[in-house]
Homo-oligomer: A and B are copies of this chain.
Amino acid sequence: MIKAGIIGATGYAGGELVRILLGHKEVEIKWYGSRSYIDKKYAEVYQNMFELVEDSCLDDNIEKLAEEVDVIFTATPQGYLASILTEDILNKVKIIDLSADYRIKDVAIYEKWYKIEHKSPEFIEEAVYGLCEINRDKVRNARLVANPGCYTTCSILTAYPLVKEGLIDPDTLIIDAKSGTSGAGRGAKVPNLYCEVNENMKAYGVTTHRHTPEIEEQLGYAAGHDITVTFTPHLAPMNRGILATEYASLVKKEDGTFPTAAEIRNAYEKYYKKEKFIRVLEEGVCPETKWVEGSNYVDVNFKVDERTGRVIMMGALDNLVKGAAGQAVQNMNLLFGFKESEGLELVPMFP
């Protein structure tokens, strides 16, 4: 039984961490950190936790926390962890950071896209990008895990096998992603009001969304060289879920023909067949966000468009689970040698 602390426990990702950890046999939550609700009972902030969580919210004292727990989850605004992290803390406790602070290796790129100065670039090198299915072994030995973004997890996993196997030209990759509104957080802002989001679809952050360089870096590793992609996020009128529809040109084989659907399927199976949390759907079945809701699954599939020589790849996940808290717990399981799926055997809820 290990002890966990959460900094930022009252955001939606923090709330989901609590939901998942309550069902985890090896962990006890010892610290519900929330600057906005100090001393307020956690179950008053999230009434679903009534009679399940008796604790009150605490301030964000990471030094104290590092003494008391084995792992800290930081579900905090960009720049926060970078501004308080020290070698001393990392020597005492494992950290799984749900913010973007240590996801991008090139600090200049981080600072350009996030428009903030990085306060502790010295830890970037050692931070492990916690996309479990790709970096499983590295995660196991990490002190600091950079938990991937919601859009990025979905976008990368949907295209990874085809990039890795050289079946598509990564520079033609266009990612059109649709997200539920919990991805926008629990901040009280007019654009996130019910009446503004409901019955509405819109793109936002076009050409400027911060998950773009994260996708490019990780898929660049798979490609073996730097790549540039177009990524367009959209806000959809639903609580949870990300659907990524991804377009890329197939790379002709030496004989001048395009890869077949069977060859593409083989690539997906090569990387994902043994992965519990990635489901390659059967031919002709398009992923739907509702089929993974509440679970740690990513559902992926594809369709070859012979007329244009493109492949359309599709991936769906729950942005709060595999896109945030679920993957964070999966990383924790790797860090502490627990069964990787412990606490994550959540059956998707339908309807």
Binding site for B on A (CB under 8 A): 12, 15, 19, 22-23, 46-52, 171, 174, 176, 178, 180-182, 186, 188-190, 192-204, 206-207, 228-230, 232, 234, 236-241, 243, 245, 247, 279, 281-282, 285-295, 299, 303-308, 310, 312, 314, 316, 345, 347-351
Bound-state CA distance A290–B237 (Å) is 11
Bound-state CA distance A49–B310 (Å) is 30
Contact of A200 among B193, B285, B290, B306 (CB under 8 A): B290
Give this chain's copy count.
4
Expressed in whole angstroms, the minimum distance between the Cβ of A217 and any Cβ of chain B is 14
Contact of A305 among B171, B181, B188, B207 (CB under 8 A): B207
Could you give 22 example pairs across A and B, Cβ below 8 Å? A12-B195, A19-B349, A50-B291, A181-B194, A182-B351, A188-B189, A193-B193, A194-B237, A195-B351, A198-B237, A198-B238, A199-B199, A201-B241, A203-B243, A203-B245, A207-B305, A207-B312, A229-B308, A232-B312, A236-B236, A237-B237, A240-B351
In the complex the two chains form, is A314's CB within 8 Å of B236's CB?
no
In the complex the two chains form, is B347's CB within 8 Å of A199's CB?
no
Given A50-B299, A229-B308, 7 more A-B residue pairs with CB atoms under 8 Å apart are A48-B347, A48-B348, A201-B289, A203-B245, A203-B286, A232-B245, A234-B243
In the complex the two chains form, is A201's CB within 8 Å of B178's CB?
yes
Expressed in whole angstroms, the minimum distance between the Cβ of A170 and any Cβ of chain B is 11
Contact of A239 among B46, B310, B351 (CB under 8 A): B351
Q: Which residues of B contact A310 (CB under 8 A)?
A: 174, 230
In the complex the two chains form, is B308's CB within 8 Å of A228's CB?
yes
Q: A279-B50, A304-B207, A347-B19 given as contacts; is B286 within 8 A of A199 (CB)?
A: no
In the complex the two chains form, is A238's CB within 8 Å of B281's CB?
no
In the complex the two chains form, is B288's CB within 8 Å of A195's CB?
no
In the complex the two chains form, is A193's CB within 8 Å of B186's CB?
yes
In the complex the two chains form, is B201's CB within 8 Å of A243's CB?
yes
In the complex the two chains form, is A351's CB within 8 Å of B199's CB?
yes
Q: Which residues of B contact A294 (CB under 8 A)?
A: 294, 349
In the complex the two chains form, is A203's CB within 8 Å of B314's CB?
yes
